[in-house]
């Protein structure tokens, strides 16, 4: 690893000598470089680390090994790159116009989408679940709703609703369906499970066992999951609430 970083340092010095003559040149290059070009930023960070090494030697009479300085610069550039990527994601979400229709909130390639919702009131009362399958043009294909056994939390209720919708469309041989709902935590956990990241502590919850069951069926049928604003699930929300209120048996129509 030390040889690798020493080689990187040597190559960087050669690049700097061939391309940059002054600090001002370096700063102008950074300001005008492409967003994807990381080399100039690493040069700046490494220069800052070397400057700190010099100050430590002059003012504290302590010497850092150059390899340690390079390791620190590599860590700095990694943290900077991750933070920059995170900021860009936040800016994209903020700058993205609010969807006018549910189709605006879904990936362009979606051909079928199924809106899913649950109605939960308390840990001692049955829940209601509802789902509606649509073509990409918004034409209703199929609906289902039912009262279901009690669940301890709303998240588990949402997971049960999603499980029921996934199972029904699997039985009916539907493939390549995008399932959508307004429960962001559930969708995030489903996406994480589909990418085999379910071991991450932040994505383990009381609904994990149901989520894992959903994953198994989803993988077989190329199902995906998306979050949408609550405004787009009003019809399915009414199905779920009505099923809970009247203790409805499973109905598909």
- Inter-residue contact 206 to 152 (CB < 8 Å): yes
DSSP letters for 105-146: GS-TT--EEEEEEEE---TTS-EEEEEEEEETT--EEEEEEE
- Report the alpha-carbon distance of residue 28 to residue 41 in Å, rounded: 12
> Which regions of the chain does DSSP assign to beta strands (E)?
112-119, 127-135, 140-148, 177-181, 224-227, 251-252
Residue 73 near residue 49 (C-beta atoms within 8 A):
yes
Mean pLDDT for the chain? Answer: 83
Q: Report the pLDDT averaged over residues 98-113.
A: 89
pLDDT at res. 70: 85
Between residues 156 and 40, the one the model is more confident about: 156
Q: Which of 23-32, 54-63, 179-188 is modeled with the greatest confidence?
A: 179-188
* Residue 19 pLDDT greater than 80, yes or no: no
> Residue 15: its pLDDT value, please?
55
Q: What band does 154 get if pLDDT is binned at 50, 70 and 90?
A: very high
Give residue 2's pLDDT.
47
Q: Does the pLDDT value for residue 10 go beyond 60?
A: no
Share of the chain above pLDDT 70, in %: 78
Q: What architecture (CATH level 2) is domain 102-252?
A: 2-Layer Sandwich (3.30)
The predicted structure's pLDDT at residue 99: 80
**Range with the lowest mean pLDDT among 8-22, 45-59, 144-158, 171-185?**
8-22
Predicted local confidence at residue 37, as pLDDT: 53
Q: How confident is the model at residue 36 (pLDDT cuts 50, 70, 90)?
A: very low
User: By C-alpha distance, which of 160, 161, 163, 215 is closest to 193?
Assistant: 215
Higher pLDDT, 54 or 204: 54
User: Based on the number of CB atoms within 10 Å of its own CB, is 47 exposed (0-12), middle (13-18) or buried (19 or more)?
Assistant: middle
**pLDDT value at residue 100:** 81
Which of 4, 12, 5, 1 has its CA nearest to residue 66? Answer: 5
> Phi first, then psi: what are they for 202, rounded to 5°?
-65, -20
Condensed to tens digits (0 to 9), the pLDDT of residues 195-219 reads 875 444 556 789 999 999 999 999 9
What distance in Å separates the CA atoms of residue 240 and residue 56, rounded to the nearest whole number?
66
For residue range 63-82, list pLDDT tens digits in order: 888 888 888 888 888 887 77
* pLDDT of amino acid 128: 97
Closest residue by Cα to residue 37 from 66, 15, 14: 15
- Ramachandran region, residue 196 (left: φ > 0; alpha: ψ -120 to 50; beta: rest): left
Q: Are 190 and 225 in contact, with CB atoms under 8 Å apart?
A: yes
Q: Tell which wins on pLDDT, 57 or 140.
A: 140
Please report, for the chain, the start and end positions of each structural domain, with discontinuous segments joined by +: 2-95, 102-252
Kindly report whether the global pTM for this prediction surpasses the value 0.85. Answer: no
Rounded mean pLDDT, 11-16: 56
């Amino acid at each position: 690893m030390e040889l690798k970083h020493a080689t990187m340092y040597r190559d960087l010095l050669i690049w700097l000598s061939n391309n940059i003559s002054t600090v001002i040149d370096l700063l102008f290059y950074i300001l005008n470089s492409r967003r994807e070009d990381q080399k100039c930023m690493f040069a700046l960070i490494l220069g800052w680390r070397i400057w700190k090494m010099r100050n430590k030697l002059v003012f504290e009479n302590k010497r850092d090994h150059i390899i340690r300085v390079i390791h620190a610069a590599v860590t700095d550039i990694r943290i900077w790159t991750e933070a920059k990527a995170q900021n860009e994601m936040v800016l994209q979400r903020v700058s993205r116009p609010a969807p006018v229709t549910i189709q605006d909130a879904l990936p362009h390639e979606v051909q079928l989408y199924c809106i899913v919702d649950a109605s939960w009131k308390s840990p001692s009362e049955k829940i209601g679940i509802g789902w509606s399958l649509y073509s990409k043009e918004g034409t209703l294909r199929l609906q289902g709703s039912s009262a279901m056994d009690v669940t301890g939390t709303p998240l588990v209720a949402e997971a049960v609703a999603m499980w029921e919708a996934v199972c029904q469309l699997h039985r009916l041989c539907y493939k390549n369906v995008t399932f959508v709902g307004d429960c962001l935590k559930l969708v995030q956990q489903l996406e994480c499970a589909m990418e085999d990241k379910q071991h991450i502590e932040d994505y383990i919850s009381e609904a994990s066992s149901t989520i894992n069951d959903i994953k198994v069926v989803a993988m077989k049928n190329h199902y995906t999951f998306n979050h949408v604003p609550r405004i787009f699930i009003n019809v399915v929300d009414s199905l779920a609430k009505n099923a809970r209120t009247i203790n409805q048996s499973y109905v598909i129509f």
